[in-house]
């Protein structure tokens, strides 16, 4: 992990060290994904089976997880794991129920406007596999979808080499209210959810994290379906003052780095003493991690310790970073929170580790990455809602604004728009007042 001093190298160098690059897709990845999507559209289930055998399970025989297999998987989950997943689901549900919003209308003097809020009918949940198991991702997406009122949640996840779906993932799917589970991974899963096949139903929106191939597929199918976000590699930024515990800061910086070699970790602090202690702590802790090789590559390529001149400067650089996860290990974290403009999730104080946000606290851990927290939000209830506006005017209310409407339409050169107003306000042929 390199160290940057604002005092000696300047603010611009520090900002460059923590600024995440945009989500750009490799043209070769896009080419491969376009071929996969086209194959799934043309051949449906047959293509999914062929691709699944090529990439995931050589002996893949069935796409959908049967009711018996689902039941057996849930039964195989240890009791303490079930308890953890149940507790997490309850916290996620309670947090997201605070975000629910009703339809509304505003009526005054013959005019009514409003908004109808409805849940999407069917959502496709993508759960990654590969080097780790992600029951937490099932809950962090599936539970908010159910809270929003989505009636049908279809889940896809890669099969293991022997064709199974991990039992804890199946149990999380049951807790989250998933309707059906399919052994499909990668870009082919996104294509199946977007277009539908003989077995997989088409959905209205594809949600959930994935690798570069999943992201490329999401970009390609957007417009056929909606997508939640294009999620890049995970990242964590720790802002710490001279009173922070260096062991806690070191531990948090390692949490996201163990996901992938492209993940990033940043420490921003005005204390050179703390910066040195955290660097030592990272080396000591990393030696004992099971994924230490991967962590080392991530920190070497995408890690930085920045020594700032002031705490305010550290917070300014955190806003430049716009991280997925931001930890505020400072004396007054709530005062610091008021200065945060760009972050996916903010963890306050010494006893709110990254792990808490990833699993149990309640907010979804599906967060904007790669600096997109400048304009994007975490997955939330509104992710699964659509809104329709409505308008009702009676004749008197229309007459009150008729002249303005006609003038507006004529200014833009749209005569038919103007006539649509004049036709309603002209005296009826029979001399009556017509309908209100």
Q: What DSSP character marks residue 4?
A: E
Distance of CA 189 to the CA centre of its chain: 17
For residue 248, how many other CB atoms are within 10 A of its CB?
A: 20
Crossing angle of helices 186-195 and 27-43, in 10° steps, is 50
Nearest of 216, 175, 199 to residue 28 by alpha carbon: 216
Show the CA angle centred on residue 285, arms to residues 279 and 289, nearest 5°: 135
Distance CA 357, CA 126 (A): 20
Q: Which of 180, 221, 216 is nearest to 204 (CA)?
A: 221
Buried residues in 151-176 as b, exposed as e (16+ CB within 10 A): ebbbbbbbbeeebbbbbbbbbbbbbb
Helix (H/G/I), strand (E/B), else coil: 177: coil
CA-to-CA distance for 306 and 278, rounded, in angstroms?
Answer: 12
CA distance 131 to 127: 13
Q: Are 202 and 194 in contact (CB under 8 A)?
A: yes
DSSP3 helix / strand / coil % (the chain, rounded to 5): 45, 15, 35
Backbone angles phi, psi at 222, to 5 degrees: -60, 135
| Residue 270: DSSP 8-state | S
Active site residues: 324-325
Q: Which of 329, 251, 257, 244 is nearest to 285 (CA)?
A: 251
């Amino acid at each position: 992990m390199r160290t940057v001093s604002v005092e000696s190298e300047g603010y611009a160098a520090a900002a460059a060290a923590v600024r995440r690059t945009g989500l750009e897709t490799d043209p070769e990845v896009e080419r491969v994904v376009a071929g996969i999507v086209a194959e799934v559209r043309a051949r449906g289930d047959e293509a999914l089976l062929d691709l699944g055998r090529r990439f995931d399970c050589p002996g893949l025989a069935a796409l959908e997880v049967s009711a018996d297999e689902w039941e057996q998987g849930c039964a195989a989950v240890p009791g303490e794991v079930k308890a953890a997943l149940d507790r997490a689901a309850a916290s996620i549900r309670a947090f997201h129920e605070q975000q629910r919003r009703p339809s509304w209308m505003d009526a005054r003097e013959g005019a009514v406007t409003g908004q109808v809020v409805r849940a999407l009918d069917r959502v496709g949940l993508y759960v990654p596999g590969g080097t780790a198991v992600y029951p937490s991702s099932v809950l962090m997406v599936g539970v908010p979808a159910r809270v929003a009122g989505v009636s049908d949640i279809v889940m896809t996840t890669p099969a293991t080499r022997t064709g199974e779906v991990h039992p804890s993932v199946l149990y999380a799917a049951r807790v989250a209210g998933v309707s059906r589970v399919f052994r499909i991974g990668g870009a082919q899963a996104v294509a199946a959810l977007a277009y539908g096949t003989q077995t997989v139903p088409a959905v209205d929106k594809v949600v959930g994290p994935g690798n570069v191939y999943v992201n490329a597929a999401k970009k390609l199918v957007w417009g056929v379906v909606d997508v939640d976000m294009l999620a890049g590699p995970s990242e964590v930024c720790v802002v710490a003052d001279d009173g922070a515990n260096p062991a806690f800061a070191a531990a948090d910086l390692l949490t996201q780095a163990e996901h992938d070699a492209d993940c990033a970790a940043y420490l921003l602090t005005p204390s050179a003493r703390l910066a040195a202690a955290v660097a030592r702590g990272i080396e000591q802790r990393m030696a004992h991690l099971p994924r230490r090789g991967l962590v080392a590559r991530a920190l070497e390529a995408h890690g930085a310790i920045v020594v700032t001149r002031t705490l305010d400067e550290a917070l300014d650089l955190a806003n430049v970073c716009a991280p997925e996860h931001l930890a505020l290990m400072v004396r007054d974290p709530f005062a610091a929170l008021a200065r945060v403009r760009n972050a996916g999730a903010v963890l306050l104080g010494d006893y709110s580790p990254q792990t808490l946000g990833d699993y149990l606290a309640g907010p979804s851990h599906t967060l904007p990455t790669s600096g997109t927290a400048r304009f994007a939000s975490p997955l939330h209830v509104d992710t699964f809602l659509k809104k329709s506006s409505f308008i009702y005017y009676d004749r008197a209310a229309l007459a009150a604004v008729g002249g303005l409407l006609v003038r507006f339409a004529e200014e833009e050169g749209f005569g038919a728009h103007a006539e649509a107003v004049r036709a309603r306000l002209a005296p009826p042929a029979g001399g009556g007042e017509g309908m209100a």
